[in-house]
Amino acid sequence: MPFQVSVEDNRRPQPRLRVLDHRLFSLDDAFVYVHEDMVVDVPHCLPCTLRTDLASVPAPLRGLLTPYGRQLLPAVMHDDLSNQALKAGRSGMRLRRRADELFRLALLDEGVGRCRSLLFWVGVEVGRYWTFTRYLRFLLIAQHVLGMLCWVVGAPWALMGGHPGYALALLIAPVVTAMLWRRDFPVALLGCVILPLVAPTYLLTIATAAVLWVPDGLAWAFGRRSAPTPPPLGPPTNVLGGTHT
């Protein structure tokens, strides 16, 4: 079992998460991740002071990927390792790359499908560039967007226009430019593949949410907001215990 209560106790951990606000939780318990001969303590120091937003999935994409479920424990571990990378100074980029790879392995160990694991992994890898670089992060996003346009728009347009040579060039171009990223070639290339799948869901969800915001906005504008009613069984708890996947 990859996630355990401790090195000596191989039972599956059931950590408690304390609700901090609508997005953040704090970890009340510790556990370990065991992969072959490697052991990762979560959190890396006690007492537990880890704050986590679980899997950092943008709200419009939660129809595809959720912040909880099988990915919960890997996400909490990744948040702890990412915090360590942030404090590591110049070696932070290297440590964060390692944290992202452990996150991918842990997702697979938890039974998350390979496709979804890759989606999560590409997301955190883009986050690594966004956190640790100033200009390269924009180049990486440009690589993904231009690669998507080459494959989804450019190549079909060239083929329909009777220019198979141009179509072939547009299909190959994202692969060639991804090679310039050297070690991060998979991230640069997979982003071009994933973006056409993710972008429509993202835009459609925002458009749908905008429709639902209209009546709420009108109610707020005309001052017809109803007072909140208290819960029937007393105040809600702020601790989530015994997390399951």
Task: Convert the pLDDT of each residue in 109-123 to its tens digit.
Answer: 999 999 999 999 999
Q: How confident is the model at residue 234 (pLDDT cuts 50, 70, 90)?
A: low
8 Å CB contact between 3 and 11: no
234: left (phi over 0), alpha (psi -120 to 50) or beta: left
Q: Please, what is the average pLDDT of the chain?
A: 87
pLDDT of 231 strictly over 60: no
8 Å CB contact between 25 and 19: yes
- Cα 159 to Cα 73, 162, 175, 177, 223, distances in angstroms: 46, 5, 19, 21, 56
* Maximum average pLDDT range among 58-67, 85-94, 209-218, 233-242: 85-94
Q: What is the mean pLDDT of residues 17-28?
A: 86
| pLDDT, position 237 | 60
Long-range contacts of 138-145 (CB under 8 A, 24+ apart): 140/181, 140/184, 140/187, 140/188, 140/191, 143/174, 143/177, 143/178, 143/181, 143/188, 143/191, 143/192, 144/188, 144/191, 144/192, 144/194, 144/195, 145/195
**Lowest-confidence region among 2-6, 62-66, 158-162:** 62-66
| pLDDT, position 224 | 57
Task: Convert the pLDDT of each residue in 54-94 to its tens digit.
Answer: 888 887 777 778 888 899 999 999 999 999 999 988 889 99
- Cα 150 to Cα 11, 22, 90, 108, 140, distances in angstroms: 49, 39, 35, 31, 15
Single pTM value for the model: 0.83
Q: How confident is the model at residue 229 (pLDDT cuts 50, 70, 90)?
A: low
